[in-house]
Chain A
Amino acid sequence: MSAAEWPWRSLADAASAVESRAVSPVELTQACLDRIEKVDYAVHAFVSVRAEGALEAARVAERDISAGRYRGPLHGIPIGIKDNYDTVGVPTRNGSQVFIDRMPSSDSTAWALLRNAGAVLLGKTVMSEAAWGVDFPPVRNPWDVRRNPGLSSGGSGAAVAAGMCFMAMGSDTGGSIRIPAGLSGVVGLKATYGRVSKAGVMPHTWSLDNAGPLTRRVEDAALTLRVIAGFDPRDPGSADMPVGDYLASLKKSIRGLRVGVPREHFWDRIESRVEPVVRQALRDLEGAGARVEEVSIPHMAGALGAILVTEMASVTAWHDTYLRQPDRRARYTPEVRALMDAGKFIFATDFLKAQRLRRVLTDEVRAAFAGVDVLATPTLPLCGWEVSQSHVEIAGQPEHVLHACWRYTYPWNLTGLPALSVPCGFADGLPVGLQLVGKPFDEATILRVGEAYQRATRWHEQHPADPAPSTA
């Protein structure tokens, strides 16, 4: 296989080849750097690339592996990390001019675990400012560079989709791992709240934030989760729960497994080109042996207000120190600054009502799970929108893209459940995602269903053509 072909292979394939010394970490890293050089002028997925540092790390990995010190599947694998993860020696700017000079003094736990597993950091990926707002730097969707790749981990999704790295870490407060996964045609995993440490990941909304991977294959997400999952005393939300053998679960059949499809909310306002793609995906799951049935979660439609007030108040509370410093305040973009200012006007009674609704929702979702093993929904109600668009029209009604894009993902942040987006086809040439939701700490089952779906359909094997030179 030529070096140029490696960046399109799965992380699992690359790991096997590294272990057997069929390919070296240096070759893999150089191949990814070559991809970045070739396509990132048009995709703009990376905010910083550390080519020399990555190659040096790859050389160290190569020496260790040659000396018999192979650390596991991430050893020598080139990855990207979102700009809100603390990484010693590499600036962490949270996508914002406010933090332009911020150089972390310690590593985020997730990066420390990946680094100890031998992963090679290529660079930091672009994110929307403070993981908020839509007017974010020029990341483009590799499937159509006129379009948005999804927020706020858009750089991570685009980097993986365009073959610039084997995995990229994102963060997800209302869908920001699964949304770029859905729009960019890759896999995105938000584990159960507390499963993956968020220590050292710049906060957005404490009770909703999750750290997790974007990959091209479900197996790659499982390999990554095995490394980053686990209790961390540095994270007050961390869960002290046993970490499963996610790879072993992938091999199991889904015959007889019960898939619930929520009746409310998830099909109310969806693009007519997206719904049939996801309905077909449900039939494909049936074809693979699963039993699909409807379930009910009555309060889901009222949950938007709950996540809005939770996010607005929390983001503003964290950024308050900076908003009160005139020189820092001036460095926020006007759109993000206005959102944060608005957070000052959220009433405590509404915030507490939202936290009470989260308990009601959790009870309803638990009841919906009584007869099923996983839930399945579309990841988004729309495909990638043009970067100049702030509004889209869905089912005949204009709607702000921020409102539309997270409609099917934020319920699982409010309830803390694990959720996985897998590519399930295309609408007008743009990727569509299927979202699989599991019981608390049962990432193994959603990964198993996602893997079975990939075996049955192979949408994940498609990748975008390189952007034309005129799109620079």
Chain B
Amino acid sequence: MTLPPLKHVAELAGYPLPEADLTQVASILEGMMEDIQRLRDLDVPDDVEPILSFHVDPWEA
């Protein structure tokens, strides 16, 4: 992961970071990419809505 595109994303996010901090961020994101890609690759049925307000419902017996 190279720094220039990351720098642009940081600016888009309104969160400009010095190069040293961006380097650390790049390292962390690289370490996570495999797991995030696995999440992206999972098939989720079209009718599944995200859980945005998390509550657990009791299950019927």
Query: Chain A: residues with CB nearer than 8 A to chain B?
Result: 192-194, 206-208, 236-237, 239, 241, 299, 301-302, 304-306, 308-309, 312, 334, 337-339, 341-342, 344-345, 350, 352-360, 362, 366, 369, 400, 416-417, 439-441
If A308-B32, A366-B59 are given as contacts, then 4 extra A-B residue pairs at C-beta distance below 8 Å, sorted by A number, are A194-B55, A337-B21, A353-B39, A353-B44
Q: Take A302-B38, A342-B28 as given contacts and tell me if A241 and B58 are in contact as well, using a CB distance cutoff of 8 Å.
A: yes
Determine if A305 and B44 form an interchain contact, defined as CB atoms under 8 angstroms apart. Answer: no
User: Which of A241, A304, A339, A362 contacts B28, CB < 8 Å?
Assistant: A339
Which residues of chain A come closer than 8 Å to B10, judged between CB atoms?
344-345
User: Which of B38, B49, B55 contacts A304, CB < 8 Å?
Assistant: B38
Determine if A355 and B35 form an interchain contact, defined as CB atoms under 8 angstroms apart. Answer: no
Complex-state Cα separation, A38 to B37, whole angstroms: 50
Complex-state Cα separation, A193 to B55, whole angstroms: 7
Which residues of chain A come closer than 8 Å to B31, judged between CB atoms?
400
Complex-state Cα separation, A342 to B31, whole angstroms: 11
Determine if B24 and A341 form an interchain contact, defined as CB atoms under 8 angstroms apart. Answer: yes
Determine if B56 and A358 form an interchain contact, defined as CB atoms under 8 angstroms apart. Answer: no
Which residues of chain B come closer than 8 Å to A207, judged between CB atoms?
51, 54
Complex-state Cα separation, A352 to B57, whole angstroms: 20
Q: Take A305-B35, A356-B50 as given contacts and tell me if A192 and B56 are in contact as well, using a CB distance cutoff of 8 Å.
A: yes
Complex-state Cα separation, A236 to B52, whole angstroms: 13
Which residues of chain B come closer than 8 Å to A369, judged between CB atoms?
59
Determine if A305 and B36 form an interchain contact, defined as CB atoms under 8 angstroms apart. Answer: yes
Determine if A341 and B21 form an interchain contact, defined as CB atoms under 8 angstroms apart. Answer: yes
Q: Mark B1-29, 1 if CB is under 8 A from A, else 0.
A: 00000100110010101000100110111
Q: What's the least CB distance linking A351 to chain B, in Å?
A: 8
Q: List 21 A-B contacts (CB under 8 A).
A: A206-B54, A241-B58, A305-B37, A305-B38, A305-B40, A309-B36, A341-B15, A341-B17, A341-B24, A341-B25, A344-B10, A350-B39, A356-B50, A357-B39, A357-B44, A358-B51, A359-B48, A359-B51, A369-B59, A439-B59, A440-B57
